[in-house]
Amino acid sequence: MTLNQQKVLLGITGSIAAYKTCELVRQLRQDGAQVQIVMTEAAKKFVSPMVLEALSGRPAREALFDRSAEMTMSHIELARWADLVLIAPASANCLARLAMGIADDLLSTICLATRAPVMIAPAMNTVMWEHPATQENVATLRRRGVTVLEPEIGEQACGEVGAGRMQEPEDLKEALLSLAVPQDLQGIQALVTAGPTRERIDPARFISNFSTGHMGCATADALLNRGAQVTLVCGPITLDPPEGAQVIHVTCADEMLQAVEQHGRECQLLIAAAAVADWRVRKSSADKIKKKDTPPTLALEPTADLLSAVATWDMRPYLVGFAAETEDLIENARAKLQAKGADLIVANLIGDNFGFGDVDSQLEVVSIDETHSIGPASKSMLARDLVEYIAARLGSPASIIDFNARAQHKNTSAG
Ligand code: CTP
């Protein structure tokens, strides 16, 4: 087990043990984790943000009211981004503030706003650690589900001997693993389609739709997070695809189908989140159609339905489709489940001003036996819960392989 693709938010507070965090960051990164540093003012007196930025590969966050940093990722987004929050070292002051639920700096605010598991590695003078006030704060935090590690016993920077030393980076990494997102999709190859497609009219124009690729990219990210190997086939999007995915860029529905044909055969799981154009222009023009010409009538023809095509493969992956609907959400999703031969259809409502982009949404996951609601929440939270639901339905990786065998049987027996 590793921390591969786990998003670790590392809080650093004011303690001499902060110098050990450089080695901790190095080890977490070596294990494949993405590390976001959040430092308190006092922490900066013990370790340089610049060193930590170089080691983590991301700007360290310090202030709650930093407008430019908040524009990139707000404190709430940071809290949602994290799979794990580790505070190392945690000073006596930090423990007291967290126990009180104070939120007057970035780190304490994130701790209140996150749903991720929080682990704390205390470091302080032994008398401070043993003080009833500190021990009561530790008990309060543990009662609330926070993992407070025991500090090590030994000689301290202040000269005293006793409990209060921060655990070593290697031990902290091991402890984090016990809270990490389960790697239940390890060994699984997944293909995700994302974004819109563009169907050419002439060299300057195309038919497309409002899809931004947010849901597809978030889904790919959530799959990686649970240990899957991911191929992301995406239409034209402006988003950065998630780190760790094999990305194949396509433009039109035909290219998307070809990419799925080429890369999907080896997969055990296929999630079709792309908004594939349903029609293309029968005969696109080699030259630009001029405005002075009479307005053209575009003769359209249907594109191939990618999901339905994969459903007919002899050895097909577990198949998850999406359905963006303006009405009758669940009825339409059920109809698509049947018509396309998918195992799950993930339905969401869209309208003129909602449903597309980086906005909160709600999903209804329809299968033959149940309808499961997820959200409302941000697309990354929805994707996390969706992938957790899919992983639970699939069971262990071994049963996905079984599923393939069953699918093969089903398709050959269907003729
Ligand atoms: N899909 C596909 N190939 C297409 C069109 C859609 O694979 N040519 C997939 C989408 O990726 C999605 C699912 O089918 O997973 C449903 O797409 P949607 O656009 O909601 O449905 P359509 O089949 O296009 O039906 P309609 O537009 O009438 O709702």
pLDDT digits (tens, 9 = 90+) for 348-372: 988 777 777 777 889 999 999 999 9
Residue 298 CA to residue 3 CA, distance in Å, equals 52
Would you call the peptide bond into 376 cis, given omega within 30 degrees of 0 as the criterion? yes
Mutate to test the pocket of ligand 1, among 327, 336, 364 (most ligand atoms within 8 A of CB): 336
pLDDT at 335: 96
pLDDT at 361: 87
Residues of the chain with pLDDT under 70: 396-415
The answer to whether residues 60 and 72 touch, using CB atoms and an 8 Å cutoff, is: no
Give the percent of the chain with pLDDT over 70.
95
Mutate to test the pocket of ligand 1, among 210, 219, 278, 348 (most ligand atoms within 8 A of CB): 278
Q: Which atom of ligand 1 is nearest to the CA of 309?
A: 7
Burial-class residue 335 by CB neighbours within 10 Å (0-12, 13-18, 19+). Answer: middle
Sheet holding 147-148, edge to edge: 34-39, 7-12, 84-90, 118-122, 147-148
Q: Whose CA is nearest to atom 17 of ligand 1?
A: 323
Task: Give distance in angstroms: CA of 226 to centre of ligand 1.
Answer: 27
Q: Is 260 in the pocket of ligand 1 (CB under 6 A)?
A: no
Place of tokens 């589900």: 145
Say which CATH class 7-180 falls into: alpha beta
pLDDT at 410: 56
Structure tokens belonging to residue 213:
């690729």
Domain ranges of the chain: 7-180, 189-414
Fold assignment, 189-414: Rossmann fold (3.40.50)
Fold match, 7-180 / 189-414: yes
Residue 23 CA to residue 28 CA, distance in Å, equals 9
The answer to whether residues 272 and 211 touch, using CB atoms and an 8 Å cutoff, is: no
Q: Which atom of ligand 1 is nearest to the CA of 302?
A: 8
Q: Is 307 in the pocket of ligand 1 (CB under 6 A)?
A: yes
Strand partners, 352: none
Q: Is 324 in the pocket of ligand 1 (CB under 6 A)?
A: yes
pLDDT at 413: 40
The answer to whether residues 244 and 226 touch, using CB atoms and an 8 Å cutoff, is: no
Residue 405 CA to residue 362 CA, distance in Å, equals 33
pTM, two decimal places? 0.83
Residue 271 CA to residue 344 CA, distance in Å, equals 9
Q: Is 311 in the pocket of ligand 1 (CB under 6 A)?
A: no
> Is residue 222 within a helix (H) or strand (E), and if so which, with residue range?
helix 214-225
Structure tokens belonging to residue 49:
């943000």
Strand partners, 347: 323, 364
Convert the pLDDT of each residue in 145-164 to its tens digit.
999 999 999 888 888 888 89
The answer to whether residues 310 and 274 touch, using CB atoms and an 8 Å cutoff, is: no
Q: Whose CA is nearest to atom 27 of ligand 1?
A: 278
Q: Which atom of ligand 1 is nearest to the CA of 322?
A: 15
Convert the pLDDT of each residue in 48-59 to its tens digit.
999 999 999 999
Task: Give distance in angstroms: CA of 277 to centre of ligand 1.
Answer: 8
Q: Which atom of ligand 1 is nearest to the CA of 274?
A: 11
Q: Is 274 in the pocket of ligand 1 (CB under 6 A)?
A: yes
What residue type is 412 in one-letter code?
Answer: T
pLDDT at 150: 96
pLDDT at 138: 97
pLDDT at 415: 35
Q: Is 303 in the pocket of ligand 1 (CB under 6 A)?
A: yes
User: What DSSP letter does each residue of 104-135 carry, written as one string?
Assistant: SSHHHHHHHH--S-EEEEE---HHHHHSHHHH
The answer to whether residues 172 and 24 touch, using CB atoms and an 8 Å cutoff, is: yes
Q: Which atom of ligand 1 is nearest to the CA of 304?
A: 8
Task: Give distance in angstroms: CA of 339 to centre of ligand 1.
Answer: 11
Instruction: List active site positions.
Output: 158
Mutate to test the pocket of ligand 1, among 252, 270, 320, 322 (most ligand atoms within 8 A of CB): 322
Task: Locate all alpha helices (DSSP H) within 246-378, ordered by sequence.
Answer: 253-264, 306-311, 329-340
pLDDT at 310: 97
